[in-house]
Structure 1
């Protein structure tokens, strides 16, 4: 079990802009990564992955696309959030979370 790191109110406030920028960058990276993964999962796809309201696709394909997209976005967000928090801690000496 590791000791919980202390966070000051100032650290949380100072981290917010960094966190927002990281979220935007993470969204772009995750979107690009998802497009590449989807091309491999569905090699015959000529367009973007199916969306829930596109009636020409089977539900199975829509759910697979949603599951992959959600998993990729969650992993990328976790990596960027954690990396950003660690970098912030190295620069300031304070952990921005909790």
Structure 2
């Protein structure tokens, strides 16, 4: 395994945690902007409809994937700028 990959592992783990926090905040804002209650429904929330639960899950998944990709890409680009090699 390349040294750059080994060195990138802790950075990647930290950035994964950061991306989760960012994605959660973005999702909460988006859910509020859609005019729903402050908290998104859980799959087992009896008071919520199927469509509301599935919409929340789809939106949350899409936001998480986009934020994770953006953070991972930014981290890889920064790593290349510092080390001269792509970490992937």
* Backbone CA RMSD of aligned residues: 1.0
Q: Residue in 1 aligned with 2:6?
A: 13
Gaps of 5+ in 1: 1-7
- Segments of 5+ residues of structure 2 without an aligned counterpart are none
1:69 corresponds to: 60
Q: Which runs of 4+ in 1 moved over 6 A?
A: none
Aligned to 2:31: 38
Taking structure 2 as the reference length, the TM-score comes to 0.95
Distance between the aligned counterparts of 2:73 and 2:4, measured in 1? Answer: 15
Equivalent pairs, count: 88
TM-score (norm 1): 0.86
Tell me the distance in 2 between the aligned counterparts of 1:95 and 1:44: 42
Aligned to 1:79: 70
Cα distance, 1:35 vs structure 2: 0.2
- How far residue 9 of structure 1 moved from its aligned partner, in angstroms, is 1.5
Q: Deviations for 1:43-78, whole angstroms, at most 9, x for unmatched residues?
A: 241x41001011110000000000000000000000
